[in-house]
Structure 1
Amino acid sequence: MKRVVLVTGHYLASKRKAGFHWLADAYWRAGWEVIFFTSAISWLSWLQRNYRMAYPILHEAKTLRWVQPRLGSYVWFTPWHPFKVPFPGGNQLLRPLFVRYGDLPLGEIDSLLPEVDLFIFESQPSLMLFERFRQRCPQARYVYRVSDDLRLLRSSHPVVLEAEARYAPRFDLISVPSMTLLQRFTHLPQAVLQHHGIRKDLFDRTYTNPYTGPWEAHLIFVGVSHFDHDFLEKASLLMPRWAFHIIGPIASLPQRENVIAYGEMPFEETVPFVKYADVGLATRSGSPLTASLTDSLKIIQYTYCRLPIVLPEHLASARPHTFPYRPGDTASIQAALLAAQRFDRSHIVTDDIYSWDELATKIAGD
């Protein structure tokens, strides 16, 4: 039986499902033994009130917990982890401490490392473990699944950027989900564009339509960050007979009848809302960090459900079913909404969308 270790900042049982959760699920369903290695979590996370601390992190710290046969969760909770210090000179002051992050005790998982077939690393401080894992298990396949541009993350200490630059050329595969992120690695021959996958089986099921009421159209946003509040303020006024459904921990939404907030919910429960919507919203605020979201997991899911997509100009792409607006411009917002609502959804092409199973196979090199 093959064993894969996914080295990530996510927590296995989190409500927030990221690509690493779905890769873990794909390998598990394919018969692999899967270990979900949660890192970049420490007492600093507790001080920062990081959302992951709402889960039993301290209770599970450095204990390999088998949540199902062949599916394990390991929380590498450490005294500290590298982060960008927000005051002058702070990064240099803490450098001697942070540079040792990759040498901290691993705990009981250390004994399992020599028998791993595949390591998949995310874009975060655990890249500093690469050399250590390589020494323990030189025969494994090592993949860097790029999730973010580390240069743009507010939390990236210079030692993490240096680790990425040092180790990226040594990965067997650099798997990149968007063209924007791929530009950073074009000098490396093993860097390949591999868009996010989706659980096609979930989206192909028949569900009860969750939408009710007298609304002429239902628009859906699903996400956790970088929400363009001004767009919703203007759009919900412009289109009073359209319902704007917002799923995620988004605060300070307009208090209007046609703005319906659901808060955060398990991914599986969001699927019917996407499947039965009329328009998908990828309305992200203008931050350098959002540039890589042109090929986000949510855009892939909207596309698979053949939804026209409204998004800001900085996320514009060649997809013919995307309709960009100029942030803050009322006329532009209205034009994008109307064009999306009128678009013939039968023209949306879905043949090039991976399932997570297909992507997992490509990443494994099978």
Structure 2
Amino acid sequence: MSNALFISVHDFRSLRKASVHFIAAEMAKRGVTRFFSIGLSRLSQHRGDTRSSLRDRANRVEVVAGGVECYLWKTAWHPFAMRRQMLAPLESALFSAYRRMIPRVPRQWIREAEIVFVESGMAAVFVADIRQMNPKARIVYLASDDLDVVGCAATIKRDFIRNFDMIDTVRLPSRYLLPGMPHGATSILVPHGIDRSIAEPRYPSPYNGRRGCVSVGSMLFDTAFFRVASGAFPNIDFHIIGAGKAAAGLQAPNIIIHPEMAFADTLPYLQHAAFGVAPYLDVNTPIYLIDTSLKLRQFGLFGIPAVCPNFALGDTPGRFGYVPGDSESITSAIQRALDNRQEITVDVMPWSGVVDRILSPREFADVKL
């Protein structure tokens, strides 16, 4: 049994699921697991924070299915990136003030934890505080993204480098994330896992007898793809789930826009789709998406072709690439996906295997970079 704490800008109760949710759920099977969600404020809500629906459940402990204890920290303000060098001292001061404001319950959780998972992003600024409050805790850094790529504040990046050697284990889901680390001495390579059980039930089709494709999420969402695709394939319905404001301008008889929905509710759309789409924008998009895109893995799990930009292809079978903004290549990729007759499978470990490797990396030769 263990006592684990996760610190993240995600909330364990959110409808949208990221890798940190699956790791936390697996840890909950092994012992006490707590989830401290940071960075929710009036400012973040104004910017479309996906946790806004949980705001009335903030600043108190809530135990959810699986026994995970959740605490969403909501404040009137939170620090953010100030892009001008002249404002750097103010940015640093605001982050320092925010760190001193950690509520009593999460402070106690930090002191009691045997292992603290710090997810890349804003949570990285708390590494020194964790080490000070609990010198014996094992700190694991979950490198979900490169701090430069996601536009983190200079203060977060500076403190991450300064306190990097306080981190015991750095878990990289892609070797392409290694250049963003100060060094690789404590880094291990553990790709994302997958829960194969989600594909076992037979779900009812949500497509009303028509061929449909599905896109889930809002990350780097490219509306231009759907303007081309919906016109080129009028007999296919394009279901867009949880893209939010990014999809607001899309209008066509065969484009169906859905609000964000629970992860489990998206599964019928995946199972019965003619193909899935990962419509990433080409804006210096990081190469590590080849390895870290959960939606692409889920398409493979359900055995459906995936249409995605060429930069997300990698060497994974069942992916059909196009050049963003190029109508001809978009049309070609969709047609090739529709024409595919080869069986699509994924060779991915379960999330239990991911957690085993994070907890005991010396027992697994495959984690070495």
The normalised TM-score by structure 1 is: 0.89
Tell me by how many angstroms 1:47 deviates: 5.3
Tell me by how many angstroms 1:143 deviates: 0.9
Instruction: Name the residue aligned to 2:225.
Output: 231
Instruction: Name the residue aligned to 1:162.
Output: 158
1:202-230 Cα shifts (integer Å, max 9, x gaps)? 222222222223x4x43211112321111
1:365 aligns to 2:360 (yes or no) = yes
Give the secondary structure class of the aligned counterpart of 2:36.
Answer: strand
Change (3 A) 1:96 1:312: same
Gaps spanning 5+ residues in structure 2: where? 362-369
Tell me by how many angstroms 1:253 deviates: 5.0
Which amino acid is 1:168 matched to?
F
Asked if the contact 1:168–1:174 (Cα under 8 Å) also holds between the matched residues in 2, the reply is no
Change (3 A) 1:48 1:206: closer
In 1, Cα distance between equivalents of 2:36 and 2:195? 22
Change (3 A) 1:111 1:45: same
Moved more, 222-231 or 71-80: 71-80
Instruction: Name the residue aligned to 1:321.
Output: 318
Pick one of 234, 242, 264 that aligns with 1:248: 242
In 2, Cα distance between equivalents of 1:87 and 1:185? 24
Tell me by how many angstroms 1:332 deviates: 1.0
Matches within 5 A, 1:1-366: 1-28=1-28, 30-46=29-45, 48=47, 50-57=49-56, 60-61=58-59, 63-68=60-65, 70-78=67-75, 80-86=77-83, 89-154=86-151, 156-185=152-181, 187-213=183-209, 215=210, 217-250=211-244, 251-252=247-248, 254-289=250-285, 291-295=287-291, 296-346=293-343, 348-351=344-347, 353-365=348-360
For the aligned residue pairs, the C-alpha RMSD in angstroms reads 2.4
Asked if the contact 1:6–1:119 (Cα under 8 Å) also holds between the matched residues in 2, the reply is yes
Tell me by how many angstroms 1:150 deviates: 1.2
Tell me by how many angstroms 1:185 deviates: 3.3
Asked if the contact 1:40–1:124 (Cα under 8 Å) also holds between the matched residues in 2, the reply is no
In 2, Cα distance between equivalents of 1:186 and 1:313? 29
Asked if the contact 1:14–1:52 (Cα under 8 Å) also holds between the matched residues in 2, the reply is yes
Asked if the contact 2:274–2:305 (Cα under 8 Å) also holds between the matched residues in 1, the reply is yes
Moved more, 65-74 or 157-166: 65-74
Asked if the contact 1:91–1:157 (Cα under 8 Å) also holds between the matched residues in 2, the reply is no
1:175-212 Cα shifts (integer Å, max 9, x gaps)? 12234323323831322222222222122222222222
In 2, Cα distance between equivalents of 1:96 and 1:199? 42
Asked if the contact 1:149–1:289 (Cα under 8 Å) also holds between the matched residues in 2, the reply is no
In 1, Cα distance between equivalents of 2:19 and 2:237? 29
Asked if the contact 1:219–1:245 (Cα under 8 Å) also holds between the matched residues in 2, the reply is yes
In 2, Cα distance between equivalents of 1:267 and 1:233? 26
In 1, Cα distance between equivalents of 2:243 and 2:98? 31
Change (3 A) 1:186 1:193: farther
Change (3 A) 1:246 1:53: closer
Tell me by how many angstroms 1:106 deviates: 3.1
Give the secondary structure class of the aligned counterpart of 1:277.
Answer: coil
In 1, Cα distance between equivalents of 2:112 and 2:221? 43
1:133-155 Cα shifts (integer Å, max 9, x gaps)? 1233233221111122111223x
In 2, Cα distance between equivalents of 1:246 and 1:313? 21
Asked if the contact 2:222–2:279 (Cα under 8 Å) also holds between the matched residues in 1, the reply is yes
Change (3 A) 1:165 1:331: same
In 2, Cα distance between equivalents of 1:87 and 1:171? 30
Which amino acid is 1:8 matched to?
S
The normalised TM-score by structure 2 is: 0.88
Instruction: Name the residue aligned to 2:367.
Output: none
Give the secondary structure class of the aligned counterpart of 2:126.
Answer: helix
Residue identity over aligned pairs, in percent, reads 29
1:154-190 Cα shifts (integer Å, max 9, x gaps)? 3x21110012212333322211223432332383132
In 1, Cα distance between equivalents of 2:40 and 2:218? 19
In 2, Cα distance between equivalents of 1:48 and 1:327? 26
In 2, Cα distance between equivalents of 1:333 and 1:48? 31
Tell me by how many angstroms 1:291 deviates: 4.1
Give the secondary structure class of the aligned counterpart of 1:161.
Answer: helix
Asked if the contact 1:117–1:140 (Cα under 8 Å) also holds between the matched residues in 2, the reply is yes
Asked if the contact 2:58–2:73 (Cα under 8 Å) also holds between the matched residues in 1, the reply is no
Change (3 A) 1:276 1:182: farther
